[in-house]
Amino acid sequence: MIETIYIEEEVIDHSTTKRILKNLPRAQIIEISRYQELFNKRHQNFRLQKMNPGLILAKKHDNFVLPVPPGFGMDAQKNFYFSHMFNCLYDCRYCFLQGMYSSAHYVLFVNYEDFFKSISDTIDRYADCSLTFFSGYDCDSLAFEKVSGFAKHALDFFSKTPSVELELRTKSIVTSSLMERDPVKNCIVAFSLSPQKISDILDNKAPSVARRVIALKQLAKGGWSVGLRFDPLIYCSDWENLYSELIADIMEGIDPANLHSVSHGPLRFPKEMHKQIVSLHPDNRLFSFPMEKKGGIISYGPEIEDLMSNFLQTELNKYTTQNKIFRCTV
Amino acid sequence: MKRVTGKDQLPIGDLKFCWVIALRAEARPVIKAFDMKIVSNKLLFPVYINSENGHALVISGIGSVRSAAAATYLKTLLKINKYAAWINVGIAGYFKEPIGKIYQALKVLNQDTGESFFPGLRFSKFVSGASLSTVNKPEIIFPDKNLYDMEAAGFCEIAPLFSCNELTYVFKVVSDTPGKTKSLLTKTVITELIEKNMGSLSELVGAIGRLVEDERERLSIPREIVKITEDCHFTVSNTHKLKQVYRKWKTVFPDRSLNDVNYPLTSARALITRLEKELLDEVKNWKLM
């Protein structure tokens, strides 16, 4: 439950702010000048703040749409992402956000219209290219939907721009706002998934994998394009059986036509980010693994990564075609 | 007040709660509730401690600068650990009644500089929240719907440096409003205002104490490592590396000790290599719990 909402003076009368405040009538409101006053300041403790984060309603001024890092996207010629929100309701132990910011407060940029204007400009600029826009890079695309309503706005916008794709990446089962409308054909609802046994340990506060699988099957049945994201792949004893069972479970009963893509990627962190995350959770077995460091990246190392990647590839080939499977390299 | 021995022989213990309070009249109920004893009357600021329950308190005097200075003094004098919580408690003016109500300051504005601070985690279960303005002379008009004090901004500027923002807290009890001016505030009244809120403050200390324990565990250096680095001469770099590897090793093998490693413990490099090898040997059977 959100107890405190910090609001930038500039957006206090914004329609999105007003709607959100209506949905959270019991929260205490504190006015601020700019969100940087309290977000990501030095001497903040992410781990403690995560126990009771506040919501910051802010205005984003620039960098609405950014190119994704090389190796992140699927098969579109140009891939972009946008971050209408920083931080996530969930607390997954491997999440890079805990090493990215010193604050666990949720920052929601309420000027959605500026994001869509910038997306529109980007579409015009790359009129000859196939484009995919990724939401949920710095947050979960749907977990906060009941409060933010952002996905609804995004779907309204992208339903009118059928030549480009939108990916909503999520672990949420809050799919009612999608199920209540006709499928948006150029929207991919991509679920982040791990075997249940692994998720039980690492995906704190997130819905169970079983419920995520039910949600994605309902969406697929309803005609939505769904994506499967096995990223990061987590190593442990018996990982082959765990991933094999997970994939079989997901694929059972899904119409292949509604499966847009499957991607998988290794567990990896930039060195400084890894250092920060380990300092927050020094006694977690995920970080006790003897990781390898190469080119400023901390990971399981090529031997385990290739082993897991090849295994996933083989398992996925049982159910879908090679052109739908992507290996993330960043 | 009972007196503790001289400062060279301070029974510091494991101090977990550091109180920074402007007036003796405000501090008295806190000192009493946590059974603190004065360290010495000859110090720059009066300091009280109870090393048994981990409380320390400094009386800063009035003003933002004094509050920051007193907090720094306490930190230095008692070598307070990084996991300790820092708490500023006192009286404040407010735009509305009731007198005697306690608030957690969620935003602290330095009226002089315009700088804002957002101390602590929210504890709405125990206490209401409000914004607070720190001013450099007593406020009588209350132009904003804020609490008004004269210390919190200085305290909030410095205390997070000693631990972190989430272990820095400001709690204020309403003492004067537009209808009831400061001139009616005697020492006795001030003490009573704080005293009446000691129940809430004790509950807050309980909640903050859980965060302190969490931080203490996270920052702790295992006893085995302390001992081995005291007994053997390791370089700074090797000591740092050993701490890192040991913590991983201990997470994977919680029931083992370095005595089981069966390796000369006098060479940090050899020990690190040994622990790393044991971790590597475990990869095939790797468990996440």
CB contact under 8 A, B118 and A51: no
Q: Contact at 8 Å (CB) between A146 and A123?
A: no
Q: Indicate the residue among B204, B219, B234 that finishes a domain.
A: B219
The number of distinct structural domains making up chain B is 2
B231, part of any domain? yes
Examine the domain organization and report whether B114 and B252 are in the same domain.
no
Q: Any chain B CB within 8 A of the CB of A179?
A: no
Q: Give yes or no: residues B141 and B265 share one domain.
A: no
Q: Distance (Å, rounded) from C-alpha A93 to C-alpha A289? A: 14
Q: What is the pLDDT of residue A73?
A: 65
Strands A28-32 and A4-8: parallel
Residue B2 lies in a domain: no
H or E, element range at A176: helix A176-179
Pair B83, B202 in one domain: yes
Say which of B161, B166, B285 has its CB closest to residue A48: B166
In this structure, CATH architecture of domain A59-85+110-327: Alpha-Beta Horseshoe (3.80)
Residues 162-191 of B with CB under 8 A from A: 164-167
Average pLDDT, rounded, for chain A = 95
Are A141 and A151 in contact, with CB atoms under 8 Å apart? yes
Please indicate whether, in this complex, the C-beta atoms of A52 and B116 are within 8 angstroms of each other: no
Q: What is the ipTM for the molecules in this complex?
A: 0.93
Q: Quick one: pLDDT band at residue B172, thresholds 50, 70, 90?
A: very high
All residues of chain B having their beta carbon less than 8 Å from the beta carbon of residue A235 are 286
User: Are B19 and B152 within one domain?
Assistant: yes
B197 plus B54 within the same structural domain: yes
CA-based nearest distance B149→chain A, Å? 18
Q: Are residues B263 and B152 in the same domain?
A: no
Instruction: Provide the shortest C-alpha distance from residue B289 to chain A (in Å).
Output: 6
Look at residue B234 and tell me if it is in a domain.
yes
Distance of CA A18 to the CA centre of its chain: 26
Q: What angle do CA B242, B248, B249 make, to 5 degrees?
A: 80
Q: Confidence class of residue B11 from pLDDT cuts 50, 70 and 90?
A: low
Please, what's the b/e burial string for B227-249 (b: 16 or more CB within 10 A of its CB; e: otherwise)? ebbeebebeeebbebbeebbbbb
**Would you call B280 an interface residue with chain A, using a CB distance cutoff of 8 Å?**
yes
Min distance B244 CA to chain A CA atoms (Å):
9
Nearest CB neighbour to A236, from listed B107, B131, B286 = B286
Inform me whether the C-beta atom of residue B276 falls under 8 Å from chain A C-beta atoms.
yes
B114 and B238 share one domain:
no
In chain B, DSSP assigns E strands to 17-21, 37-38, 47-50, 55-59, 85-93, 102-110, 116-117, 128-134, 147-149, 168-176
CB contact under 8 A, A235 and B218: no
Give B195-251 pLDDT, tens digit per residue: 999 999 999 999 999 999 999 999 998 889 988 888 888 899 999 999 999 999 999
In the predicted structure, residue A296 carries a pLDDT above the cut 60: yes
User: Would an 8 Å CB–CB cutoff place A234 in contact with chain B?
Assistant: yes
pLDDT at B10: 62
Q: Is the pLDDT of residue B2 over 60?
A: no
In whole angstroms, what is the distance from residue B73 CA to residue B60 CA?
Answer: 10
For residue A281, the distance in angstroms to the closest alpha carbon of chain B comes to 7
Which domain-ending residue is among B169, B184, B219?
A: B219
Could you tell me where the DSSP H helices lie in A27-81? 46-49
Residue B130 lies in a domain: yes
More confident residue, B266 or A30: A30
Work out whether strand A66-67 and strand A55-58 pair parallel, antiparallel, or are unpaired.
unpaired
Backbone dihedral angles phi then psi of residue A59, each to the nearest 5 degrees: -110, 130
State the Cα–Cα distance between residues A295 and A271, nearest whole angstrom: 9
> Which pLDDT belongs to residue B231?
83
Query: Rounded distance, CA B42 to CA B46, Å?
Result: 8
B243 and chain A: CB distance < 8 Å anywhere? no
B134 and B204 in a common domain = yes
Q: Of the candidates A48, A52, A286, which has its C-beta nearest B288's C-beta?
A: A286
A4 contact B CB<8A: yes
Tell me the percentage of chain A whose pLDDT exceeds 90.
93
pLDDT for residue B266: 73
Shared-domain flag, residues B212 and B237: no
Encode pLDDT of A76-93 as tens digits: 678 999 999 999 999 999
The Cα–Cα gap between B225 and B228 comes to 5
- Domain co-membership, B215 together with B279: no
Measured between beta carbons, the chain B residues lying within 8 angstroms of A49 are 121, 165-166
In a domain, B141, yes or no: yes
From A304's Cα to the closest Cα of chain B, the distance in A is 10
- Say yes or no to pLDDT of B7 above 50: no
Q: β-pairing, A131-135 with A78-82?
A: parallel
Q: Is A218 helix (H, G, I), strand (E, B) or coil?
A: helix
The token pair that represents A54 in the structure block: 């506040």
Residue B1 forms part of a structural domain: no
Percent of chain B past pLDDT 90, that is, above it, reads 79
Residue B223 vs residue A122, higher pLDDT = A122
Parent domain of B269: 223-285
Where are the domains positioned within chain A? 59-85+110-327
Does residue B227 share a domain with residue B214?
A: no
Which residue in the set B121, B215, B250 is minimally distant from A49, CB to CB? B121
The answer to whether the Cβ–Cβ distance between A38 and B211 falls below 8 Å is no
- List the single residue in A with minimal CA-CA distance to B157: A43
CA distance A140 to chain B (A): 23
Q: Do A28 and B286 touch (CB under 8 A)?
A: no
Are B165 and A52 a contacting pair at CB < 8 A?
A: no
Interface of A with B in 51-110 (CB under 8 A): 51-52, 54
Chain B partners within 8 Å of A286 (Cβ): 288
- Which residue does chain A place closest to B162, by CA atoms? A43
Residues in A closer than 8 angstroms to B131, CB to CB, are 30-31
Say if A258 is an interface residue toward chain B (CB within 8 Å): no
Residue that terminates a domain, selected from B219, B243, B275: B219
CATH number, position B114:
3.40.50.1580
Residue B183 has pLDDT above 80, yes or no: no
Most confident of A130-144, A184-198, B10-24, B175-189: A184-198
* Predicted local distance difference test score (pLDDT) of residue B4: 52
Same domain, B172 and B85: yes
Is residue B126 predicted with pLDDT exceeding 50?
yes
A32 contacts chain B (CB < 8 A): yes
Nearest-angstrom CA–CA distance, A268 and A265? 9
